[in-house]
Structure 1
Amino acid sequence: MKRLFWFAVGVGAAAFVVVKGKELYQRYTPKGIAEQVEKTRSEVGSWIGDFLSTMGEAMDSREDELREALGLEE
């Protein structure tokens, strides 16, 4: 029974290593690297868009506060 248990553990470990090894191999092929670069580029583009949008809203809000504090009309 012990042998069967350890055999099953070995088969499971080998399957895990093969699957993860294949994923790692595909990740570092030229196609995989190109996909990673594209994913990172799109994430950075999204982050920059969010940042600029938030910054614009904050600037408008602060301008309104200053105008109100100084008694200026638009």
Structure 2
Amino acid sequence: MFRRAFWFTAGAAAGVWATTKVNRQLKKLTPESLAAQAADKAIEAGHRLKDFALDVKSGMSQREDELNDALGLHQDPDLPANVTALPGPRRLRAIEQDQNDPTTQFSYNRNEDH
């Protein structure tokens, strides 16, 4: 008698466990759940891509500094902060003219000497 009660209880518990497991899997396969999972994966991929881009940018900056040091190119304090190229003859004439005329504002164009 106890043996039958034990197996009946074990079977009922296994049935409840299996039913719960199947229902959880079915809920994971609903369109809303699949959309949420896809959105989470997209956000995660975006974060990874952003981290990769930041790593590439820092590596580029580091390598540029190494090359500038190797070539002896250093930042000139008279030039704007974002300019690292040496000015050509046209640019030097323009700088001299603009130093005489303080009202003239100019922008540095790297392509004007080429």
Question: Does TM, normalized by the shorter one, top 0.5?
Answer: yes
CA distance in 2 between partners of 1:8 and 1:69 (Å): 79
C-alpha offsets along residues 12-39 of structure 1, whole Å, 9 cap, x if unaligned? Answer: 4434322321221011111111111111
Tell me the TM-score normalised to structure 1 length. Answer: 0.77
Matches within 5 A, 1:1-74: 4=6, 6-7=7-8, 9-74=10-75
Letter in 2 for 1:69: A
C-alpha offsets along residues 21-61 of structure 1, whole Å, 9 cap, x if unaligned? Answer: 12210111111111111111111111111111111011111
Aligned length: 73
Q: Which has the larger radius of gyration?
A: 2
Which structure exhibits the higher relative contact order, with contacts defined as CA atoms closer than 8 Å and separated by 6 or more residues? 2
Letter in 1 for 2:15: A
C-alpha change, 1:2 and 1:58, in structure 2 (3 Å) is farther
Runs of 4+ in structure 1 over 6 Å off? none
Q: Which runs of 5+ in 1 are unaligned?
A: none
Root-mean-square deviation (CA, aligned residues, Å) is 2.0
Letter in 2 for 1:58: G
CA distance in 2 between partners of 1:70 and 1:9 (Å): 79
Q: Which runs of 5+ in 2 are unaligned?
A: 76-114
The structure with the greater share of residues assigned to helix is 1
Identity of aligned residues (%): 33
Letter in 2 for 1:39: D
